[in-house]
Amino acid sequence: MAECITRSATDPPSPDDLRDAYELELRSPNGNPVRLGELICEKGDNITTIIVFIRHFFCVYDQDYVRTISHHLTDSLLKSLPSTSSTGPSQLIIIGCGDPALITPYVSETSTPFPVYSDPRGRIYEKLHMTRTMSNVMKQPSYSTVGFWRALGKTFRQMAASGWRGLRGGGWGQNGGEWVFKGGKCVYVHRMKDVGDHLTAGELLEVLGCGAGDDTAKEEMREEVERRLD
């Protein structure tokens, strides 16, 4: 198992950009507004929050990704990760960029137990400087079970089954990434460089292990990573 992953090369947001992003609103599955900062800062100072920003709701690569992290990073696992006196349990939240009415079908498609919200105007994605590119769209990511042509066919079938909302899944070129917050502060940033550049479940667990405390706690984390990924 590799050593603990260090901070990504992508730059963290400026304090002003992060503060502005916290004030921007997401939409819940029923369309109700909720501030990003409410999800991150108002759950307790010792809570670690992992936010996975996904691509459009019909991206089959990302649907496979959400299935993978939902299988490996279970809620019970996140709540039982080694912690210190200043680092409590972890929560994982998924944020998309399409019509919030598509959240419920997305949850059904991916069987994810994690809460899903949407930024339909992409304002948070923009404020946090996430990339827009279709680079490597034909390259199958390691976490996907299908290649490009099968994924594209499945995407079009899902869009057709969604009626007019099939055109409101989110920008096809919008990429996301993985962000970790502790005590309301951003401590880790990974912005996707291309269509298939999410962190794997194992990499996410190792990122969380960077703050696990002493060597014993970190060794427990590595053992947990290996056990979950066997």
Number of domains in the chain: 1
Give the closest residue to 37 by CA, choosing from 26, 23, 47, 27.
23
Closest CA to 79 of 104, 113, 52, 107: 113
Give the pLDDT confidence of 43-88 residue by residue, as tens digits.
Answer: 777 788 999 999 999 999 999 999 999 999 887 777 776 655 455 6
Domain assignment present for residue 19? The answer is yes
What CATH number does residue 57 fall under? 3.40.30.10
Tell me if 201 is assigned to some domain. Answer: yes
- Name the token pair of 166: 């099939």
- Whether 4 is covered by a domain: the verdict is no
Check whether 201 has a pLDDT greater than 60: yes
The alpha carbon of residue 87 and the mean position of all alpha carbons in its chain are separated, in whole angstroms, by 20
Structure tokens at 10: 């992508």
Q: How far is residue 26 from each of residues 7, 66, 86, 117, 127, measured CA to CA in Å?
A: 26, 19, 28, 6, 13
What is the model's pTM?
Answer: 0.88
Asked, for residue 1, whether it belongs to a domain, the answer is: no
**Domain span at 124:** 15-222
Residue 9 lies in a domain: no
The pLDDT of residue 74 is 84
How does pLDDT run across 141-167, given as a tens digit for each residue?
Answer: 999 999 999 999 999 999 999 999 999
Residue 142 lies in a domain: yes
According to DSSP, residue 164 is labeled G
